[in-house]
Amino acid sequence: MKTKNVRELALDILLQIEKNQAYSNLLLNQKVNEANLNRKDIGLLTEIVYGTIQRKNTLDFYLEPFIKKQKKIETWVIVLLRLSCYQMVFLDRVPSHAVINEAVEIAKKQSHKGISGMVNGVLRNLQRNDLRNLDEVTNQEERLAIELSHPTWLIKRWLNQFGEEVTREMCQVNLKPPQVTVRVNQMKANVDEMLTILSEEGLEVERGDLSEDAIKVITGNVPNTKSFQDGFITIQDESSMLVSRALGPRPSEIVLDSCAAPGGKSTHIAEMMEGSGNVVSIDLHDHKVKLIGKAAERLKLENIETKAIDSRKLHEIYEKETFDRILIDAPCSGFGVIRRKPDIKWAKKEQDINNLASIQRKIIDAVAPLLKKGGTLVYSTCTLDKEENENIVEAFLNNSNEFTLDDTLMERMPEKLSDIVKNNKGMIQLLPHYFQTDGFFIACLKKK
């Protein structure tokens, strides 16, 4: 069977995301492995897939004048036009005539001559004419949604919660490729040692900006390194590393990670406990729990115990006041990780936030009684919406006389965050444009 080229693969991936709401990162990894692409083609495929998803609103705005007279257009044709438009408008290194020729050839393979002629006509019109001006859109929210390529309902929400300047900054960061960072397993090496070792393995690396465990990877493939395979490092965003720091686990303690998959924070906690004590890592789905086990095995961590169970039912198997510390990294809308999973912003609906907030409230209410008196509970999410973050914590505190915000949180956080937490000592909302990390919310509570 003839091997597909990069743009055909991109079309396949984007179509599956469009039709089946497949996850872009998982699907891209699967296709890359199946196609056995070289490094250059992997880079181009990743750029086209992520760029086309990220800029979908803007691309549709540019294409709309040239396709509005067409009768019903099949989804694959729209997706082909989008990925071609993305290359013509946003990529300097690909000549427009090459993009158009490639798109026409793909259209010929997929359908009849009429469709390939239409694709050719639309893209040549795009090439010959100036790009459509955003000033045509008079409504501010709609104009921002097109310019910054985010759903209008999400733009409205963020404008209400953060104002235009911050909304614009967050959206602009969401359109950029994410930084790759790794966490050093400090049971095996320190950051300075790993900077040297990773450089010797051919990676270009530098010290992280926020977390004391972090190394930024400028170039190089982390999973292929011996350091990764031997458990010296774990791929994790710096903001995510701060969550385990906020929890502050100590050797020999019993710690619950109640929504743990795929295990990045569980393994970090286990490393901070120097392999002693017990980290109970819970997740709802058995296949996700297996990922935690694999991560623990790679890192040679024997103090992690995994279970597949709904966190809201943990009271059925654990006595009250069993754990010294509890982490609730709650299921959330994920709007802090749009750079890594751009399909999130198109797949989620506003009602999802309300539904998730209901689940989050039930989890914190169910898990909190399992904490010992004097213990620490951290509630975190990788999203930005107040309804899933501050509102959840404040509602919980209003209904509980046993818990208070932990004003020692800052002692465990990097100095660079001091301005962010100065007005709210037990809670941090890390927005993605502050340090070019994922967006994260962290609240630290103490049980009296």
List the beta bridge partners of residue 255. 279, 325
Give the count of alpha carbons within 13 A of 26, CB side only. Answer: 7
Mean pLDDT taken over the chain: 93
Same structural domain, 396 and 262: yes
Last residue of a domain, one of 235, 255, 274: 235
Same structural domain, 315 and 224: no
Q: Into how many domains does the chain fold?
A: 4
Same structural domain, 185 and 316: no
Q: In terms of residue numbers, what domain contains 407?
A: 238-447
pLDDT in tens, 137-191: 999 999 999 999 999 999 999 999 999 999 999 999 999 989 999 999 999 999 9
Q: CA 374, CA 397: separation in Å to the nearest integer?
A: 16
- Give the pLDDT mean for 400-425: 86
Confidence of residue 418 (pLDDT cuts 50, 70, 90): confident
Q: Which residues are annotated as a binding site for S-adenosyl-L-methionine?
A: 259-265, 283, 310, 329
Same structural domain, 142 and 68: no
Same structural domain, 115 and 207: no
Name the residues annotated as catalytic.
382
Same structural domain, 420 and 299: yes
- As a whole number of Å, the end-to-end CA separation of the chain is 66
Contacts by 345-349, CB closer than 8 A, 24 or more apart: 345/150, 345/151, 345/154, 345/174, 346/53, 346/56, 346/151, 347/21, 349/153
Same structural domain, 368 and 405: yes
Evaluate whether residue 391 is within a structural domain: yes
Same structural domain, 243 and 231: no
CATH assignment at residue 319: 3.40.50.150
pLDDT in tens, 219-237: 988 988 999 999 999 999 9
Same structural domain, 345 and 275: yes
According to DSSP, residue 129 is labeled: S
Contact 388, 353 (CB under 8 A): yes
Same structural domain, 185 and 201: yes
Q: Is the pLDDT of residue 111 over 90?
A: no
Same structural domain, 258 and 401: yes
**Is the omega angle on the peptide bond into residue 65 within 30 degrees of 0, that is, cis?**
no
Give the count of alpha carbons within 13 A of 40, CB side only. Answer: 2
CA distances from 22 to 6, 32, 50, 330, 335 (A): 19, 15, 13, 22, 17
Identity at 443, one-letter amino acid code: A
Count, residues in the chain? 448
Q: Report the percent of the chain where pLDDT is more than 70.
A: 98
Evaluate whether residue 1 is within a structural domain: no
Evaluate whether residue 93 is within a structural domain: yes
pLDDT in tens, 39-90: 888 889 999 999 999 999 999 999 999 997 766 889 999 999 999 999 999 9
- pTM value? 0.92
Same structural domain, 274 and 411: yes
CA distances from 380 to 9, 48, 258, 434 (A): 36, 32, 11, 18
Query: Burial code of 306-317, b = ≥16 C-beta within 10 A, e = fewer?
Result: beeeebbebeee
